[in-house]
Amino acid sequence: MNLGVIASNRGTNLQAIVDACREKRLDAKVSVAISNNSKSLAILRARKAGIPAFHISEKTHPSPLDLDQAILNILNTHDVDFVVLAGYLKHMGKKTLLAFPKKVINIHPSLLPSYGGKGMYGRKIHEAVLKNRDTETGITIHYVDDGYDTGEIISQLRIPIDSSDSVTSLTNRILKQEHEFLIATLNCLISKERSCRNTV
């Protein structure tokens, strides 16, 4: 299966996918990477691995329709079968979503529908979770629709919150588990053999 990975910043989940493919833990190939940030580590990680990587954003395509078409063109040019949003902070265009029905997934560091929506990502989520004194948090992988974090849930992983947790410790602990959980869910989706609800 050819994967297209779209990320905005550090690209650690992209790296996890690249490593899993190389180590034969995931029967797939990252065919292309896209970032809306020309200076993102995601682009550097992809190019270091020999993967074509492109900066596509409002700076390169000011029109939302043109931006959507540009992303779709790149995915099609590189024969992408499945799209992974791995820390992509922008909204996906309708044309791309229509071209990849139930083939675009996103990983989100909370138990959706809690702490989802526009502007809820990364440390902002963990700050809110701790402020609300929640006893658990988690990771959600879901299909992408035309809303923010509103698509059908594929899999979730519940993670207990320690009384000693800070925003930094919670961020680091969840990110580490994101990598393993994403690979497990992708393997489940590729195999199509079982429900992915309880993947790990």
Annotated binding site for (6R)-10-formyltetrahydrofolate: 106
Q: d(Cα 177, Cα 34) in Å, to the nearest integer?
A: 23
Catalytic residue among 78, 108, 126, 179, which?
108
> Could you report the per-residue pLDDT of 133-181, keeping only the tens digit for each?
999 999 999 999 998 899 999 999 999 999 999 999 999 999 999 999 9
What residues does CATH 3.40.50.170 cover in the chain?
A: 1-101, 108-139+159-200
Structure tokens at 165: 């947790």
> Could you report the per-residue pLDDT of 58-108, keeping only the tens digit for each?
999 999 999 999 999 999 999 999 999 999 989 999 999 999 999 999 999
Annotated binding site: 11-13, 106
Q: Are 141 and 182 in contact (CB under 8 A)?
A: yes
CATH number assigned to the domain with residue range 1-101, chosen from the 4 options 2.60.120.260, 3.40.50.170, 3.40.1260.10, 1.10.1200.10: 3.40.50.170
CATH number of 108-139+159-200: 3.40.50.170
108: annotated active-site residue: yes
Global pTM reads 0.92
